[in-house]
DNA sequence: TAGATTGTTAATCGATTAACAATC
DNA sequence: TAGATTGTTAATCGATTAACAATC
């Protein structure tokens, strides 16, 4: 459609990636894995890496890795490989981790408690800014350095903290209700551990982690193995 | 390829589904959601349901739902809908939940502790049969009614309990090692909460739940929203 | 220059969607 | 019979794979 010349091409592609949508969902889903693989590589002191090495670390094929990275705008050098630090930085920017994201957690039961203390959150570009629950035995206690507030104050807490991401570890029965409140308060991303589909407006992104579902999927393959049986 | 006649067709399709592979992975991944939606429907006392209703509950389109169910062999009646109890049973069988699956959990830290007490495991066709850790402060204590054993005894515990599925909630640094031991002991399905790809032989199935990755994917969309900005 | 390794293209594969004939 | 709703087909879409020309 647009008739640019050779010199501008590479920059144009990078710009497109930076400004935009065109990174396919499947690719986005793999970027965190690449980032982690790069961190491991960096921790070993390597400055350069190859699609072969990085793909092996991330558990994908080299072709897949190169294709994925091409959507971000091509940060490697032919014949040489990828600069570990630079690529790491680029993926960090694309994933939106250059700015710290503020996270709110609702439901400080067993699982919520464990997640609040989970290093993976704080270490990877997120800050936990609030904890909410309805249980009077929990509200007011300190968990992971934060005082648990009452879920009735959800709206005020979102406003005060500027949280944009909510983690839902409530019982399934109240998940949709809390979800609605989070959305009304302005949260745009929700990670839920409650089973069952959540209804949200189009501008809100939901990711569901359902432990029981995961086990059931494993059970399917376990069964298929015994039923299909024996030799190939 | 095979030239069967009309009468045998329906049964043939059911047989194919029962005996086999041909359920696509994407469909398998949605079956637990359908099962849950059916359970909610059943709990409301309904005997019949439709693809419209069930799909809405599961958060998919009716076309998607019907297509998925067609891989299991067609258990609905045109003009009528699906029998809730019957469909529930069929999905249960296909997912391999007719038999109880024995689950072993390695890594009884914060998260492992929470999962051991998680009702979603016991309620949904699984039994937790063993808990393992290396921390002397944890080994020997009782969690969720089980005595935590030392991870050095992993092999013996798998043999004794007949566990086929392992849940990995160890630090990332030791995950691959524990994974190898689980596989060597005969476990065929692994659900890991440690970040990073696990290498396993082809006959073993791995599902990874990575909380940090999920948050990073949410961060991508959060960023895309602010960068892409304003009006559509 | 020769060898290495990317970025991109084209081919394949699988998943989703829409529409409708079959059938209750 | 008329209305409802499935199961299946065909069309579309997106993701993966393989191969290779570009280029360091």
B69-79 pLDDT tens trace: 999 987 899 99
* pLDDT given for residue A226 in this prediction: 75
Residue A102 contacts B where some CB pair is shorter than 8 Å: no
CA dihedral B38, B41, B45, B48 (to 10 degrees): -70
- In the DSSP assignment, the letter for residue B230 is S
The pLDDT mean for chain B works out to: 89
Give, in Å, how far the C1' of C23 lies from the CA of B6: 15
Q: Which of B114, B165, B198 sits opposite A218 (nearest CB)?
A: B165
Structural domains of chain A, with CATH: 6-94 (1.10.10.10), 101-213 (3.40.50.720)
Read off the pLDDT of residues B129-157 as tens digits, 9 standing for 90 and up.
999 999 999 999 999 999 999 999 999 99
Read off the pLDDT of residues B107-123 as tens digits, 9 standing for 90 and up.
999 999 999 999 888 88
H or E segment to which residue A220 belongs: helix A211-228
A53 or A19: which carries more pLDDT confidence? Answer: A53
Residues contacting residue B194 through CB under 8 Å, at least 6 positions apart: B168, B169, B170, B171, B172, B175
Is the pLDDT score of A9 beyond 50? Answer: no
Is the pLDDT score of B7 beyond 70? Answer: no
Distance CA B42, CA A116 (A): 35
Q: In 3-state terms, what secondary structure has residue A77?
A: strand
**Which residue has its C-alpha nearest to nucleotide D22's C1'?**
A78
Mean local confidence (pLDDT), B211-218: 97
Read off the pLDDT of residues A124-140 as tens digits, 9 standing for 90 and up.
889 999 999 999 999 99
Nucleotides of chain D touched by protein CB (<7 A): 3-9, 14-19, 21-24
How many angstroms separate the Cα of A49 from the Cα of each of A67, A77, B23, B56?
16, 11, 38, 46
> B182 to chain A, minimum CA–CA distance in Å?
15
Mean local confidence (pLDDT), A177-204: 97
B209 or B19: which carries more pLDDT confidence? Answer: B209
Nucleotide showing the shortest C1' distance to residue A53 CA: C5
Q: Which of A224, A216, A26 is nearest to B23 (CA)?
A: A224
Give the number of A-B residue pairs with CB atoms closer than 8 Å: 219
DSSP alpha helix (H) spans, A84-147: 84-94, 110-116, 119-122
* pLDDT given for residue B193 in this prediction: 98
How many angstroms separate the Cα of A40 from the Cα of each of A30, A197, A226, B201?
16, 35, 38, 23
A227 phi, psi to nearest 5 deg: -75, -55
Residues of A in contact with B205 (CB under 8 A): 218, 221-222
Nucleotides of chain C touched by protein CB (<7 A): 3-9, 14-19, 21-24
Read off the pLDDT of residues A66-125 as tens digits, 9 standing for 90 and up.
999 999 987 899 999 999 999 999 999 999 999 999 999 999 999 999 999 998 888 888
Residue A123 contacts B where some CB pair is shorter than 8 Å: yes
Is the pLDDT score of A6 beyond 80? Answer: no
Q: Which of B128, B111, B130, B124 is nearest to B185 (CA)?
A: B130
Q: Which of residues 121-180 of B touch strand D (CB under 7 A)?
A: none
Contact status, residue B183 vs residue B201, Cβ threshold 8 Å:
yes
* pLDDT given for residue B228 in this prediction: 56
Q: In 3-state terms, what secondary structure has residue A23?
A: coil
Is the pLDDT score of A36 beyond 80? Answer: yes
> B63 to chain A, minimum CA–CA distance in Å?
17
Read off the pLDDT of residues A53-80 as tens digits, 9 standing for 90 and up.
999 999 999 999 999 999 998 789 999 9
Lowest-pLDDT range of A12-21, A97-106, B127-136, B179-188 = A12-21
Highest mean pLDDT among A3-12, A112-121, B43-52: B43-52
Residue B171 contacts A where some CB pair is shorter than 8 Å: no
Mean local confidence (pLDDT), A178-183: 98
Residues contacting residue A126 through CB under 8 Å, at least 6 positions apart: A100, A101, A102, A103, A165, B215, B219
Q: Which of B21, B121, B207 sits opposite A217 (nearest CB)?
A: B207
A212 or B120: which carries more pLDDT confidence? Answer: A212
Q: Which two tokens stand for residue B191?
A: 């659900």
Is the pLDDT score of B6 beyond 50? Answer: no
- Give ∠ CA A133-A135-A141 in degrees, rounded to 5: 75
Distance CA B134, CA B221 (A): 39
Q: Which two tokens stand for residue B39?
A: 């359970």
Mean local confidence (pLDDT), B198-210: 96
A7 or B71: which carries more pLDDT confidence? Answer: B71
Q: Which of B95, B97, B133, B99 is nearest to B116 (CA)?
A: B133
β strands within B18-164, DSSP E: 48-49, 76-77, 81-83, 101-106, 126-133, 142-143, 146-147, 149-150
Is the pLDDT score of A15 beyond 60? Answer: no
B128 or A22: which carries more pLDDT confidence? Answer: B128
Residues of A in contact with B111 (CB under 8 A): 111, 114-115, 118
* pLDDT given for residue A13 in this prediction: 37
Distance CA B113, CA A99 (A): 32
Where residue A228 falls among pLDDT bands split at 50, 70, 90?
Answer: low
* pLDDT given for residue B123 in this prediction: 83
Mean local confidence (pLDDT), A179-208: 97
Tokens 């067709």, located at residue: B9
Mean local confidence (pLDDT), A133-154: 98
DSSP alpha helix (H) spans, chain B: 6-19, 25-43, 51-58, 62-72, 84-94, 110-116, 119-122, 154-161, 172-185, 211-228
Contact status, residue B92 vs residue B42, Cβ threshold 8 Å:
no
Q: In 3-state terms, what secondary structure has residue A27?
A: helix
Residue B100 contacts A where some CB pair is shorter than 8 Å: no
> A153 to chain B, minimum CA–CA distance in Å?
24
B14 phi, psi to nearest 5 deg: -65, -40
* pLDDT given for residue B232 in this prediction: 35
Mean local confidence (pLDDT), B12-38: 77
Verify whether the Cβ–Cβ distance A199 to B32 is below 8 Å.
Answer: no
Q: How many CB atoms within 10 Å of residue A95?
A: 27
* pLDDT given for residue A1 in this prediction: 32
Verify whether the Cβ–Cβ distance B222 to A113 is below 8 Å.
Answer: no
Is A107 labelled a binding residue? yes
Instruction: Provide, rounded to the nearest whole percent, the portion of chain A with pLDDT above 90.
Output: 81
Mean local confidence (pLDDT), B205-213: 97
Is the pLDDT score of A152 beyond 80? Answer: yes
The pLDDT mean for chain A works out to: 89
* pLDDT given for residue B2 in this prediction: 33
Mean local confidence (pLDDT), A147-174: 98
């Amino acid at each position: 459609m647009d008739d640019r010349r050779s010199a501008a091409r590479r920059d144009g592609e990078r710009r497109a990636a930076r400004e935009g949508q065109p990174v396919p969902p499947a690719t986005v889903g793999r970027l965190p894995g690449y980032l982690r693989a790069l961190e491991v590589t960096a921790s070993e002191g390597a400055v350069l890496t190859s699609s072969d090495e990085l793909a092996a670390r991330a558990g994908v094929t080299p072709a897949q890795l190169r294709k994925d990275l091409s959507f971000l705008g091509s940060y490697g050098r032919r014949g040489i490989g990828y600069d570990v630090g630079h690529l790491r930085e680029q993926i960090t920017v694309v994933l939106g981790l250059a700015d710290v994201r503020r996270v709110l957690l609702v439901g400080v039961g067993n699982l919520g408690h464990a997640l609040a203390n989970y290093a993976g959150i704080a270490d990877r570009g997120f800050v936990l800014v609030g904890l909410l629950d309805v249980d009077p035995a929990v509200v007011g206690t300190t968990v992971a350095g934060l005082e648990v507030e009452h879920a009735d104050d959800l709206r005020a807490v979102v406003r005060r903290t500027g949280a944009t991401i909510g983690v839902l570890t409530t019982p399934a029965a109240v998940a949709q209700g809390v979800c609605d409140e989070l959305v009304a308060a302005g949260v745009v991303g929700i990670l839920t551990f409650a089973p069952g589909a959540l209804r949200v407006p189009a501008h809100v992104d939901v990711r569901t982690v359902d432990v029981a579902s995961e086990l059931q999927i494993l059970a399917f393959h376990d069964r298929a193995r015994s039923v299909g049986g024996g030799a190939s």
